[in-house]
């Protein structure tokens, strides 16, 4: 199954990746091979088998609703490329997500 250059560009945009035309070509071939491999799984007969999102049938552990100490503000902001008055500072975002 082929992956078009357009699809590669779309996925790259969603992942915020900038690709050169050579890379687009290379990834469209590589991604096509990966998808082909997935296609192979379809050859298995899975009648009667439900979708499996998790391999281990353990129940999810819960935590109690108790407040635990957070980390200090300086610590939280330490890796930030830019910060001001306790905020992370980023290029202006217009509108909303």
Partner 1 sequence: MEFEAVIGLEIHAQLRTESKLFCGCSTRFGSEPNTQVCPVCLGMPGVLPVLNRRAVEYALKMALATGCRVNTNSRFARKNYFYPDLPKGYQISQYELPLAEKGEVLIEVEGRRKRVGITRIHLEEDAGKLVHGEGADSRYSFVDLNRAGVPLIEIVTEPDIRSPDEAVATLKALRDILLYLEICDCNMEEGSLRCDANVSVRPTGETTFGTKTEVKNMNSFRFLRNALEYEIKRQIEVIEEGGKVVQETRLWDPSRGVTVSMRGKEEAHDYRYFPEPDLLPVPVEEGWLEEIKGGLPELPAEKAERFVREYGLPPYDAGVLTASKHLALFFEECVRLYPKPKVVSNWIMSEVLKELNRENKDIKDSSLTPDLLASLLKLIDEGVISGKIGKTVFEEVYRTGKDPRKVVEEKGLVQIADRDALKGIVEEVLKTHPAQVEQYRKGKEGLIGFFVGQVMKKTQGRANPKVVNELLREALS
Q: Interface residues with partner 1 (CB under 8 A)?
A: 10, 13-14, 16, 53-54, 56, 58-73, 76-77, 84-93, 95-97
Round to whole Å and give the CA distance between 69 and 19: 42
8 burial via Cβ count (<10 Å: 0-12, 13-18, 19+) = buried
- For residue 41, the minimal CB distance to partner 1 (Å) is 16
CB neighbourhood size of 27 (10 A)? 20
Round to whole Å and give the CA distance between 10 and 3: 11
């Amino acid at each position: 199954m082929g992956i078009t250059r357009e699809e590669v560009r779309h996925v790259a945009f969603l992942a915020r990746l900038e690709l050169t035309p050579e890379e687009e070509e290379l990834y469209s071939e590589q991604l096509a091979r990966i998808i082909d491999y997935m296609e192979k799984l379809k050859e298995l007969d899975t009648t009667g088998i439900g979708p499996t999102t998790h391999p281990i049938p353990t129940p999810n552990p819960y935590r109690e609703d108790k407040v635990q100490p957070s980390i200090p503000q300086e610590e939280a902001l330490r890796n930030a490329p830019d910060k001001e008055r306790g905020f992370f500072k980023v290029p202006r975002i217009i509108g909303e997500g």
